[in-house]
C-alpha cells in the first residue's frame, strides 16, 4: 500500500497489491483521471494517458487551443458548464444566480490511517499500516469555496474509499445542489451493469444489463435507501464470472436518498457518480460553514465477483461494523411476531420462550405490540412505555422472567414513527414531517417524526434509554415501516427545506450513536419492513439487519444470494418460519427452511409449542448444528457457486479461515425425474488436504473437489421411488467437509 506524488508531473498514484488508481493535476488546475484498475508499476509520468484532439461541435477552455476541452478529458470531480456538458459531480448556486464552479488544485497531504467523518458512518482503521489517505485541496477563486477530496486506500484488497468536504471560506452564502461522494471517468463502456433491485418481500434481486450510450442509474427519493434499489452497483466485463474477470463494485455508506449513475457519452467514455440524490437536495452553506458528503467505497477485483464480494465482506464485517458484537457469533433467537402478532399476554410469551429454551434457543425477542395502547397498528407508536394490560410487570418484569429461564431478552422498537392516536402526537402534533396547507399522507397508519429536530431525537432517546436502563435487554430490533412523504420541517426556514431529508438521516445516525454508546453490549438489528434500509450506513451501528420480511426459504435463496454480493453473511438476518409460509403460503420442509437460514444470523419466527415432537427433535438438532458451525457460517469465506437466477439449483459454501472445514449449501427448487447426474465444483479449499464428506464418509483431496467437483446426484437421477423421502420439491442438503489430520 502506498501513495506517491510526482512533483514534476503533478501525478498521484495510489496502489496496493491489487489496485492502481492514478490521477493528475490538469493544465487548468482541475483533476484528471488517468487509470483505475489492476496494479501496475509506479513511474514519474503517466500523462500520456491524457488524450486530446480537435473535435467538431466542441467548446475549448483556452483561446487558440482546439485540443483542451473538458468534454473529452476524463476527470476526478467534474463541474458542468465550462466546456463539459456531461452530468457533474458538483453544482453550487451562488448569490448572483451562477452555477459555474472552477475548483483548482491548491495543495495536498498524504498521511497514514483514515480520518473519521463527523456525524456519519464510515469505514475505519484500528492498527498502523492498514490504510493511507490522500487529501487534495481544491479552491474556487471566485466563491472562495474550498473543496477537500479524501482518498483512502486500504492495505488489503482493491479498496478505495472516497468522500468530499466543502468549506465556505467566502463572505456570502451559497446553496450546494449536488455534491457527489465519488466520481470516476472510465475510458470505455465495455461493461455489464449489475444492480440489486426488487420490492418488499423480494429485495436485492440481481439485474444485469450492458452499458450503452446514455444514462443508467439507480436511486432512492423515499428518504430511505429502499427495498426497490440497494445503494450498490457493479460494473463487470462481459466475460467476468464468479471466479474470473474484472469487476468494479461501488457501495454507498448512507441510508437516505442516493443516486448511483453511469453516463456513457457518444465517444464511449463512462462516468460513474455516487452520492446523495441531487433531486430535492439543497444545502445552504453560510460563510464559515462546511458540508461533509457520506463515504463511497469502490472495490476492484481482477478475479471475478466472488473475490470482489469477499473483499466487501471483510471490510464491512471488520472495518465498518463496530463494537462488542462485531466479531462475536450471533445468538440464536426466537421472535414472537409471526407466532402471536398482537395477540399475546406475558404468560403466553414466557410459555413460548420456555419451549425455545428447551430446544436450545439463546435469545427471546418481543416484537411489536408491547407499548402504549398498541392493540393494532392504529395506535401507540411514539409511546415507549409498557402496556400494563398485557405486561402487568412491565418490560423489566418480563425481561427478568426470561432471564430466569436462562435466556437473554430482546425488544422491538420503531423509534422514527408515531401514530396520531398516541400521547406523543397529542402533545406534539407539529413533530411530524408535514407540509403546511397540504394533505399529510400516512403509511401503515403511521407518520414520520421529524428527526431533523434535536428535540425530537432527544425525546425518543429519553424514552428508549429509560426502558433499556431499567430492564435486562440484550438485543434491540429497530424497525422503520414507511418512507417519507410531504418532506417539510416546521423548524427550518424556507431556504433550508432542501436539507430536511439529509438532516433526518443524520438524526437517525445520532440516535443510533447515542444508544450504542450508552449500551455497548446490546446487539442492535436494523429493520425497515424487512430490507427497506439494508445498507452499509446502518451496519456501522447495527452489525446485522433483517434482510426481508419474506422468510420463505425458496424466496430467500434469491434474496440472500443477491445480498451476498456486497454484505457479509454475519449481517444477514435469517429465520426459520412456519409452513405454510405467511408471506407466500408455500409449504417447504423444515430442514430446507433451516438450511437456508443457517447462512445468516439464524433464528425462529414461530411458536415451537405448536410443532409435533418429531419436528421439535429436528429443531434441537438444527440448533446444535448451528452452535457448532456458526463461526464458519457467519465469519468464514463465502463463495457463490450456482445462482438461483440462472437455474433450478442454488449452491453456496463457507470455508473456515484455516481451510480445514467447509460447509456447502445445496438447494433444488423443483423436483426432477430421470435427470442428469449432477456435481458442483467447490472453491477455497486447500488443494493438498484430504477432506472427509461427513454425509458419505467419502474422502477427496481439495483439488479433486475443486476441479472434478462434489457429486450432488440423488434419486432423481433415475426413477424416483415412492418410498424416497428426500426427493420432493424444495429439497436441500448441507455437505460438511472436514480435513483429515
Separation CA 514–CA 231 (nearest Å) = 25
Taking Cα atoms as reference points, which of 240, 196, 220, 202 lies closest to residue 567?
196
Catalytic residue among 367, 450, 549, 552: 549
Separation CA 620–CA 622 (nearest Å) = 5
| Strand order through the sheet with 731-739 | 637-642, 649-655, 661-668, 731-739, 690-693, 699-701
C-alpha cell belonging to residue 104: 483548482
Pure H helices in 471-550: 500-518, 536-539
Cβ(147)–Cβ(138) below 8 Å: yes
Taking Cα atoms as reference points, which of 721, 687, 683 lies closest to residue 703?
687
Taking Cα atoms as reference points, which of 119, 180, 89, 150 lies closest to residue 505?
119
C-alpha cell belonging to residue 382: 411514539
Separation CA 591–CA 286 (nearest Å) = 60
How far CA 241 is from CA of 109, 235, 724, in Å, comes to 38, 12, 36
Question: Phi and psi dihedrals of 54, rounded to 5?
Answer: -65, 140
Strand-pair partners of 146: 139, 167
The DSSP 8-state label assigned to residue 730 in this structure reads: S
Peptide bond into 580 cis (omega under 30): yes
Who contacts 492 (Cβ-Cβ below 8 Å, separation ≥6)?
A: 452, 499, 500, 503
479 is catalytic: yes
Who contacts 203 (Cβ-Cβ below 8 Å, separation ≥6)?
A: 196, 227, 230, 530, 531, 532, 534, 547, 548, 559, 562, 563
Separation CA 35–CA 230 (nearest Å) = 27
- Residue 440, CA atoms < 13 Å, CB-side half-sphere: 18
C-alpha cell belonging to residue 39: 496494479
Catalytic residue among 383, 450, 479, 714: 479
For residue 209, count other CB atoms closer than 10 A to its CB: 10
368 is catalytic: no
Residues noted as catalytic:
479, 549
Amino acid at each position: 500500500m502506498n501513495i506517491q506524488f510526482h512533483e514534476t508531473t503533478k501525478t498521484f498514484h495510489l496502489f496496493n497489491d491489487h489496485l492502481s488508481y492514478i490521477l493528475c493535476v490538469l493544465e487548468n488546475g482541475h483533476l484528471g483521471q488517468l487509470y483505475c484498475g489492476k496494479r501496475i508499476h509506479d513511474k514519474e509520468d503517466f500523462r500520456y494517458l491524457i488524450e486530446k484532439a480537435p473535435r467538431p461541435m466542441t467548446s475549448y477552455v483556452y483561446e487558440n487551443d482546439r485540443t483542451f476541452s473538458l468534454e473529452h478529458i476524463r476527470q476526478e470531480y467534474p463541474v458542468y458548464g465550462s466546456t463539459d456538458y456531461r452530468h457533474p459531480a458538483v453544482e453550487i448556486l451562488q448569490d448572483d444566480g451562477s452555477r459555474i464552479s472552477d475548483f483548482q488544485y491548491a495543495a495536498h497531504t498524504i498521511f497514514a490511517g483514515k480520518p473519521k467523518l463527523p456525524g456519519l458512518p464510515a469505514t475505519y482503521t484500528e492498527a498502523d499500516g492498514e490504510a493511507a489517505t490522500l487529501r487534495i485541496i481544491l479552491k474556487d477563486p471566485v466563491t472562495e469555496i474550498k473543496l477537500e477530496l479524501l482518498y483512502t486506500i486500504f492495505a488489503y484488497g482493491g479498496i478505495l474509499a472516497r468522500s468530499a468536504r466543502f468549506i465556505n471560506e467566502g463572505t456570502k452564502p451559497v446553496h450546494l445542489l449536488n455534491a457527489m461522494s465519488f466520481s470516476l471517468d472510465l475510458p470505455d463502456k465495455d461493461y455489464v451493469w449489475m444492480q440489486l433491485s426488487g420490492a418488499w418481500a423480494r429485495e436485492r434481486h440481481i439485474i444485469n444489463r450492458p452499458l450503452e450510450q446514455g444514462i443508467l442509474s439507480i436511486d432512492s427519493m423515499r428518504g430511505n435507501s429502499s427495498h426497490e434499489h440497494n445503494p450498490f452497483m457493479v460494473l463487470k466485463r462481459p466475460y467476468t464470472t464468479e471466479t474470473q474477470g474484472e469487476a468494479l463494485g461501488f457501495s454507498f455508506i448512507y441510508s437516505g436518498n442516493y443516486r448511483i449513475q453511469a453516463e456513457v457519452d457518444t465517444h464511449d467514455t463512462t462516468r460513474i457518480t455516487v452520492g446523495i440524490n441531487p433531486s430535492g437536495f439543497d444545502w445552504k452553506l453560510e460563510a464559515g460553514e462546511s458540508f461533509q458528503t457520506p463515504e463511497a467505497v469502490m472495490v476492484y477485483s481482477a478475479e471475478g465477483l466472488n473475490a470482489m464480494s469477499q473483499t466487501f465482506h471483510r471490510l464491512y464485517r471488520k472495518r465498518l461494523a463496530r463494537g462488542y458484537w462485531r466479531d462475536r457469533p450471533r445468538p440464536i433467537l426466537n421472535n414472537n411476531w409471526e407466532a402471536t402478532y398482537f395477540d399475546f399476554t406475558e404468560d403466553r410469551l414466557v410459555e413460548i420462550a420456555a419451549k425455545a429454551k428447551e430446544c436450545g434457543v439463546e435469545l427471546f425477542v418481543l416484537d411489536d405490540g408491547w407499548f402504549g395502547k398498541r392493540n393494532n397498528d392504529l395506535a401507540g407508536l411514539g409511546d415507549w412505555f409498557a402496556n400494563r394490560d398485557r405486561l402487568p410487570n412491565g418490560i423489566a418484569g418480563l425481561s427478568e422472567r426470561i432471564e430466569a429461564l436462562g435466556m437473554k431478552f430482546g425488544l422491538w422498537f420503531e423509534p422514527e414513527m408515531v401514530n396520531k392516536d398516541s400521547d406523543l402526537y397529542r402533545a406534539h402534533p407539529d413533530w411530524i414531517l408535514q407540509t403546511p396547507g397540504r394533505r399529510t399522507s400516512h403509511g401503515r397508519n403511521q407518520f414520520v417524526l421529524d428527526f431533523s429536530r434535536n428535540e425530537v431525537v432527544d425525546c425518543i432517546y429519553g424514552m428508549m434509554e429509560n426502558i433499556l436502563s431499567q430492564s435486562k435487554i440484550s438485543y434491540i430490533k429497530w424497525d422503520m415501516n414507511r418512507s417519507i412523504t410531504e418532506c417539510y420541517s416546521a423548524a427550518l426556514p424556507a431556504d433550508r427545506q432542501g436539507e430536511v431529508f439529509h438532516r433526518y438521516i443524520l438524526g437517525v445516525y445520532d440516535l443510533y450513536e447515542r444508544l450504542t454508546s450508552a449500551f455497548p453490549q446490546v446487539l442492535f438489528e436494523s429493520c425497515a419492513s424487512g430490507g427497506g434500509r439494508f445498507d452499509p450506513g446502518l451496519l456501522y451501528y447495527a452489525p446485522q439487519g433483517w434482510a426481508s420480511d419474506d422468510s420463505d426459504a425458496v424466496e430467500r435463496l434469491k434474496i440472500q444470494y443477491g445480498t451476498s454480493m456486497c454484505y457479509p453473511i454475519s449481517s444477514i438476518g435469517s429465520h426459520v418460519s412456519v409452513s405454510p409460509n405467511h408471506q407466500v403460503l408455500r409449504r417447504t420442509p423444515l430442514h430446507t427452511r433451516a438450511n437456508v437460514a443457517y447462512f445468516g444470523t439464524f433464528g425462529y419466527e414461530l411458536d415451537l409449542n405448536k410443532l409435533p415432537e418429531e419436528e421439535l427433535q429436528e429443531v434441537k438438532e438444527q440448533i446444535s448444528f448451528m452452535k457448532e458451525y456458526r463461526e464458519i457460517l457467519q465469519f468464514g469465506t463465502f463463495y457463490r457457486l450456482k445462482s438461483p437466477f440462472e437455474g433450478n439449483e442454488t449452491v453456496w459454501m463457507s470455508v473456515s479461515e484455516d481451510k480445514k472445514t467447509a460447509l456447502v449449501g445445496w438447494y433444488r427448487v423443483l423436483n426432477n425425474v430421470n435427470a442428469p447426474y449432477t456435481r458442483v465444483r467447490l472453491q477455497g479449499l486447500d488443494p493438498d488436504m484430504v477432506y472427509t464428506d461427513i454425509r458419505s464418509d467419502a474422502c477427496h483431496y481439495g483439488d479433486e473437489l475443486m476441479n472434478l467437483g462434489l457429486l450432488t446426484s440423488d434419486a432423481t437421477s433415475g426413477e424416483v421411488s415412492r418410498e424416497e423421502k428426500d426427493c420432493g420439491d424444495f429439497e436441500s442438503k448441507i455437505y460438511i467437509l472436514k480435513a483429515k489430520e
